[in-house]
Amino acid sequence: MSTQKKDQIISLLKKELNNNLEKYFIIYSENFIIKNDNVLFTLTINKNDASKFNEINNLLKPNLEKINWVKRIDFITTSHHHIDHSTENSKEKNSKVVAKYIIPVASGKGGVGKSTTAINLALALKSLNKNVGILDADIYGPSLPRLTGINSKPKMQEKKILPQNAFGLQSMSIGFLIPEDSATIWRGPMVMTAINQLIYDVYWQNLDFLIIDMPPGTGDAQLTLSQKVQLAGAIVVSTPQDLSLIDARKGINMFKKVNVPILGIIENMSYFLCEKCNERHDIFGNGGAKKEAQKLGIPFLGEIPIDIDLRINSDAGTPMFIKDPKSNTAKVYLEISKKLLETLEKNAIRQPKIVLD
């Protein structure tokens, strides 16, 4: 990245902000990425100015766009404090409650069907009369636009982003806000800032559940979420293959280390039910996740079959639970969500007091 270009942006920021210092107090700008003349950075402002996000955006963006080499400028404004690793052991959590239960759906690696599971699970919970939101926090590869067919930008209300309605779910994805490939160049702190903002600057309304589709792996995003957000517990999705289980174990251990209970493991692409012979084929070997769950003493929530209809429809924007709620696969999602409710009720896990603001 050219330091000259970065300096040019910073000096313009300083000029604009100094002119308006009596109005806003900007704490710092950071995490600059300049690639092919596309500029991305975060701006942290004083908590008291949190309601002025739009105003500040409107003030800065047109001026930054006037710089002749700038092709595109994006910045994330946040009033949350910068998260650095010195806070890793801190117990400080955001006390604002956005849902009764905030549940991340995680996986040790990508491609195991985490996003597919997250949205169908959210829909199954909704069918049980719960008020459910889904947040696609997979900054590096947002799936919610593909899974819901929604591509429009969300609207704003009272300085907050309004979630989109996807099949009755309150839905938010970084993919609704920025072009698909922009976030692939983000580094740790930017991802954390963005996730925080997606949770706390979105107008979630009376949620029983906020299901968070996490980025795969055990990186910064998982760690931050665990430390900064009051989570009811995590769900880990795995496929039966050994490798994926090893990865899943890493995910489980990470949540354990930061004292987030594991609500259960789900085995996805568990078996193939042949329509012709009506026989179950355990293509990858089966039962691995269940055994692993038993060994670790955590609930096993269920086995989702390989379902070709599910893949075709969900990649075309209609989740299985909507496409065919009576299908075998939809029933499995329903069973899993019932088990999840049981687990939550049985353990009465970390149900925070609801504060309306």
Contact between 238 and ligand ADP by CB under 6 A: the answer reads no
Strand order in 72-78's β-sheet? 26-35, 38-45, 72-78
Report whether 232 contacts 207 (CB < 8 A): no
122 binds ligand ADP (CB under 6 A): no
User: Can you tell me whether residue 91 is helix, strand or coil?
Assistant: coil
**Any contact of residue 268 with ligand ADP (CB under 6 A)?**
yes
Residue type, 19: N
Residue 88 interacts with ligand ADP (CB under 6 A): yes or no: no
**DSSP code, position 128:** T
227 binds ligand ADP (CB under 6 A): no
Q: Cβ 104 to ligand ADP, closest distance in Å?
A: 13
Among 114, 244, 303, 319, which residue sits at the site for ligand ADP (rule: CB under 6 A)? 114
Q: How far is the CB of 264 from ligand ADP (least distance, A)?
A: 17
Six token digits for residue 324:
């065919």
**Min CB(111)–ligand ADP separation in Å:** 5
Give the DSSP H or E segment for 14: helix 3-19
Structural Rg of the chain based on CA atoms: 21
Element (H, E) at 4: helix 3-19
Residue in 111, 168, 179, 285 binding ligand ADP, rule: CB under 6 A: 111
Indicate the burial class of 41 (C-beta count within 10 angstroms; 0-12, 13-18, 19 or more).
buried
Restricting to residues 128-147, which ones interact with ligand ADP according to CB under 6 A?
A: 143
The secondary structure of residue 214, as a DSSP letter, is: P
Work out whether 115 is an interface residue with ligand ADP (CB under 6 A). yes
Decide if residue 244 touches ligand ADP (CB under 6 A): no
Among positions 44, 314, 337, 343, the unique one binding ligand ADP when judged by CB under 6 A: 314
- The residue within the footprint of ligand ADP, chosen from 88, 315, 342, 345 (CB under 6 A), is 315
Minimum distance, C-beta of residue 249 to ligand ADP, in the bound complex (Å)? 16
**Residue with the two structure tokens 């559940």:** 209
Contacts of 118 (CB under 8 A, 6+ apart): 105, 134, 211, 212, 213
Under the binding rule (CB under 6 A), the answer on residue 116 touching ligand ADP is yes
Q: Is 282 in the site for ligand ADP (CB under 6 A)?
A: no
Piece in contact with ligand ADP (CB under 6 A), picked from 14-22, 109-117, 186-194, 288-296: 109-117
Determine if 112 is a binding residue for ligand ADP (CB under 6 A).
Answer: yes
Least Å from the CB of residue 110 to ligand ADP: 4
Q: Smaller CB distance to ligand ADP: residue 9 or 194?
A: 194
Distance CA 160, CA 184 (A): 25
Among candidate residues 182, 187, 256, 255, the one with its CA nearest the CA of residue 225: 255
Q: Taking CB under 6 A as the rule, does residue 325 contact ligand ADP?
A: no
Task: Give the one residue of 130, 280, 311, 339 binding ligand ADP; rule: CB under 6 A.
Answer: 311
**DSSP secondary structure, 333-355, as one string:** HHHHHHHHHHHHHHHTTT-PPP-
Cα torsion 227, 228, 232, 237 to 10°: value is -60
Q: Which residue has the tokens 């926090």?
A: 137
Q: How far is the CB of 270 from ligand ADP (least distance, A)?
A: 8
Query: What distance in Å separates the CA atoms of residue 122 and residue 179, rounded to the nearest whole number?
Result: 25
Interface with ligand ADP in residues 291-310 (CB under 6 A)? 304, 306-307, 310
Whose CB is nearest to ligand ADP? Answer: 113
Query: Least Å distance between CB 62 and ligand ADP?
Result: 37
Instruction: Tell which one of 269, 293, 301, 334 touches ligand ADP (CB under 6 A).
Output: 269
Nearest residue to 333 (alpha-carbon basis) of 314, 352, 312: 314
% helix, strand, coil for the chain, step of 5: 40, 20, 40
Q: Which is nearer to ligand ADP, 77 or 314 (CB)?
A: 314
Binding site for ligand ADP (CB under 6 A): 107, 110-116, 143, 268-269, 304, 306-307, 310-311, 314-315
